[in-house]
Amino acid sequence: MTFLRNSAVAQYLIVTGNYWAFTLTDGALRMLVVLHFHSLGYSPLDIAMLFIFYELFGVVTNLFGGLLGARIGLNRTMNLGLGLQIVALAMLLLPTLTVPWVMAAQALSGVAKDLNKMSAKSAVKHLAALDAQRALFRWVAVLTGSKNALKGAGFFLGGLLLAVLGFDGAMIAMLAGLACVWVFSLRMLRQDMGKARHKPRFSAVFSRSRAVNILSAARLFLFGARDVWFVIAVPVYLSDTLDWSHSAVGGFLALWIIAYGAVQSLSPWLLGLRGQRVPDGRSALLGAVVLTAIPAVMAVFMKGSFPAEPVLVGGLLVFGLVFAMNSSIHSYLIVAYAKADGVSVDVGFYYMANAMGRLLGTVLSGWLFQVAGLVTCLWVSSGFLLITAVISIALPRRQREGYAS
């Protein structure tokens, strides 16, 4: 037991396992809510609105969660996230579920998810050797990629649990499994992990690092660009326009997310980085430039005489490949840019921008698709990516061990 608390590798494995367990239930919960409310006759747009609080509370949690982590320690914020997710699952066990109650449960789940994610990403900074930037890139890539792969696996798990155990049975099974992980995490995570030597003030929630602020702005538009067409427009278009079955839509998107996560985990190797080379601002800029062209080309093809199905499926695959590598670069850069003392403050601010981008993309995806269609969503995505590229020009280029804050 002492070894598990004192070994950096053992602590990293505990953090990763904790994050994996949470992410699996998070993906399963989303699919369970979608399928359950679809069976009750809710439209795709109505169902998407159930998750607005999930994204909105993620913005708030990331903004203040980093400050909380620096004050009380990352082990406590990670365990708090697990505990809140258990409460959210328990809330959905009521015999009668109303829309406001489900939205409240999703809000709590959003808080839990971002506390857990912020804690896991920040903890890696402490557990990786400070002079081993390439090792840090690999650790962050594996943590980020595995999370997304497991979220996709969670979609499958949610559908399977619903079919085998029913909605209530699925909630009980996930609650019991997560409770076991929570008890183990409470005992094994190091108590001083990520705790700042000097407690940061409230004003510290806004990062004072130029590099962190620039990267956060780029991240906001990067994830807004993804979700403006992926969250609502794509699944509704596949279902209504291309006449795909709900199981086909869910299966395809789950496989896309799993593949997306796998690419993120393999990014250090796919990017061909050797020796001590690690990504810098130039890498993020190049990725954004390439991404800008993909939805624009798709929009041109879909507006023309090309068949919509192969354009959309092929475009999603290419977009996912490039986006996954660029997102992995971003995830490494924020951990590298963040100051070591109170790392969660910078990481929390960055993921606040990430959550704000998802919220913006989710709202625009439903509205733009409803009033103007998928092609318009693609053009807006390309515009957001162009803004991401322009912002990324200002990211630090020269690579050195440890970034100045």
Which tens digits make up the pLDDT trace of 170-192?
999 999 999 999 998 888 876 66
Q: In percent, how much of the chain has pLDDT > 70?
A: 80
Q: What was the pLDDT predicted at 342?
A: 54
Count CB neighbours of 282 within 10 A: 15
Three-class DSSP labels, the chain? CHHHHHCHHHHHHHHHHHHHHHHHHHHHHHHHHHHHHHHCCCCHHHHHHCCHHHHHHHHHHHHHHHHHHHHHCHHHHHHHHHHHHHHHHHHCCCCCCCHHHHHHHHHHHHHHHHHHHHHHHHHHHHHCCCCCHHHHHHHHHHHHHHHHHHHHHHHHHHHHHHHHHHHHHHHHHHHHHHHHHHHHHHHHCCCCCCCCCCCCCHHHHCCCCHHHHHHHHHHHHHHHHHHHHHCCHHHHHHHHHCCCCHHHHHHHHHHHHHHHHHHHHCHHHHCCCCCCCCCCHHHHHHHHHHHHHHHHHHHHHHHCCCCHHHHHHHHHHHHHHHHHHHHHHHHHHHHHHCCCCCHHHHHHHHHHHHHHHHHHHHHHHHHHHHHCCHHHHHHHHHHHHHHHHHHHCCCCCCCCCCCCC
Q: Which of residues 375 and 29 earns the better pLDDT score?
A: 375
348 in Cβ contact with 336 (< 8 Å): no
Which residues lie below 8 Å from residue 51, measured CB to CB, with a gap of 6+? 30, 33, 106, 362
Find how far residue 299's CA is from the centre of its chain: 26
- CA atoms within 13 Å, Cβ hemisphere of 265: 14
- Judge whether 398 lies within some domain: no
- Judge whether 400 lies within some domain: no
Mean pLDDT of 250-267: 83
- Judge whether 402 lies within some domain: no
173 in Cβ contact with 165 (< 8 Å): yes
Structure tokens at 398: 């020269």
Does the pLDDT of residue 228 top 90, yes or no? yes
User: How far apart are alpha carbons 388 and 215 in whole angstroms?
Assistant: 9
Q: Which of residues 258 and 389 earns the better pLDDT score?
A: 389
Query: Which position has the token pair 């796998």?
Result: 262
Mean pLDDT of 194-223: 74
Q: In percent, how much of the chain has pLDDT > 90?
A: 26
Does the pLDDT of residue 241 top 50, yes or no? yes
pLDDT band at 401 (very low <50, low <70, confident <90, very high): very low
Q: What was the pLDDT predicted at 84?
A: 93
CATH of the domain at 251: 1.20.1250.20
Closest CA to 28 of 154, 146, 152, 151: 154
User: How far apart are alpha carbons 25 and 158 in whole angstroms?
Assistant: 8
- CA atoms within 13 Å, Cβ hemisphere of 254: 21
Query: How many structural domains does the chain have?
Result: 1
207 in Cβ contact with 349 (< 8 Å): yes
Structure tokens at 68: 């909380």
Closest CA to 189 of 347, 82, 111, 112: 82
35 in Cβ contact with 251 (< 8 Å): no
Q: Give the tens place of pLDDT for each residue, 276-306.
A: 567 888 999 999 999 999 999 999 999 887 8
CA angle 231, 329, 217 (to 5 degrees): 65
- Judge whether 399 lies within some domain: no
Q: Which of residues 273 and 268 earns the better pLDDT score?
A: 268
- Judge whether 71 lies within some domain: yes
Q: What was the pLDDT predicted at 326?
A: 92
User: How far apart are alpha carbons 264 and 171 in whole angstroms?
Assistant: 30
Q: What was the pLDDT predicted at 139?
A: 66
User: How far apart are alpha carbons 221 and 126 in whole angstroms?
Assistant: 28
Mean pLDDT of the chain: 80
Structural domain containing residue 60: 2-392
